[in-house]
Amino acid sequence: MEALIKALPKAELHVHLEGTLEPEHILALAERNHISLPYASAEEVLAAYDFTDLPSFLKLYYAGMAVLQTEQDFYDLAFAYFEKAAAENIVYVEPFFDPQAHTSRGISFDTVINGIYRAQLDAAAMLGLKCNLIMCFLRDMSAESAMQHLELSLPYRQWIIGVGLDSDEKGNPPSKFAAVFAKARKAGYKLTMHCDVNQDNSLQHIHECLHKIDVDRIDHGINSLESDELCELIAERGIGLTVCPVSNRFCVNDLTGNEIRKMLAKGMFATVNSDDPAYFRAYLSDNLQALADDAAFTAEEIVTLVRNSFLACWLPDFLKRPYLLRIDHIANKFIQTSGVAA
């Protein structure tokens, strides 16, 4: 299984760049930017990661990213993730970034996007990794702030493929951002929104995503399984669901393997992703391996999930096809070989 997961070309559709900031990197950036932290070692940083739900995680996530100050810091953050991704044979990424988490600390939008975009160009050239950025709005900030950041992004429209919605979901439904997302759609952006697992009004939020916002994808979306109507709509529209098993194990104490299986059985495009790998201590391959080890996912199921990420990504069909052909070629070889050995 480990060899199969490594050999398959993979796409990641739900990873927050700020959530890839490793403890060692937090310490190095703090030193470079003369910021004093209450930690003397990476072990001490890790020991402070005692989150048990979304709000307790977000507190540490925002505290960690305060060390990001300059364009070079954003370049280094993104390039370090791209190197890790390429090493595990991820060939395509649609990563999130959270500009409001930086502009609210006095860092300009241009500083953030220029650093990330430069890393993206270098990753394509040096690592053969393709990437399209998704700009997320923080849903616990105002709709006015989201609209201002949408305006700020427009000069960079060609660098950003879509917009998303993340941060604390409690009391912050999709409909709060209906006008922002309508304007983003007009500007040509693809649309996605987090519907984190077991939030207050999760089902209502998914309903709004589908009926009021008309999203192209849903991030997490596990609670859609509580409604046959919503499941049918998601399957019918071919909407991808970016599930994050190890993140779910931290935030709701469950790898959600059964839920992923149910989605696949209903013809929904479930995909597997890492969310905030430096915090949840698991990158994409670790998430796939966890499903195999702890939820008995078969090689066929893993291949289906890896294929789904390319089907649900926002590349044009002619660019998806070569990846799908390669997956099928590798999967056939592996599954036949293991069949013979058995």
Interaction site with ligand ADE (CB under 6 A): 16, 19, 54, 61, 166-167, 194, 196, 247, 275-276
**CB-nearer residue toward Zn ion: 222 or 331:** 222
Residues 6+ apart with CB under 8 A from 230: 203, 206, 207, 210, 224
| CB contact at 8 A, 14 and 219 | yes
Q: Which does 247 bind (CB under 5 to 8 A by kind): Zn ion, ligand ADE, none?
A: ligand ADE
Q: How far is the CB of 149 from ligand ADE (least distance, A)?
A: 15
**CB-nearer residue toward ligand ADE: 71 or 196:** 196
The values of phi and psi at residue 15, to 5°, are -140, 125
Q: How far is the CB of 162 from ligand ADE (least distance, A)?
A: 16
b/e burial code for range 43-68 (CB count within 10 A of at least 16 → b): eebeeebebeebeebbebbbebbbbb
Q: How far is the CB of 107 from ligand ADE (least distance, A)?
A: 17
| Site size toward Zn ion, by CB under 5 A | 1
**CB-nearer residue toward ligand ADE: 64 or 307:** 64
Nearest-CB residue for ligand ADE: 166
| CB contact at 8 A, 121 and 81 | no
The values of phi and psi at residue 271, to 5°, are -130, 160
Interaction of residue 275 with Zn ion, rule CB under 5 A: yes
**CB-nearer residue toward ligand ADE: 194 or 320:** 194
**CB-nearer residue toward ligand ADE: 8 or 65:** 65
Q: Which does 19 bind (CB under 5 to 8 A by kind): Zn ion, ligand ADE, none?
A: ligand ADE
Q: How far is the CB of 166 from ligand ADE (least distance, A)?
A: 3
Residues that bind Zn ion (CB under 5 A): 275
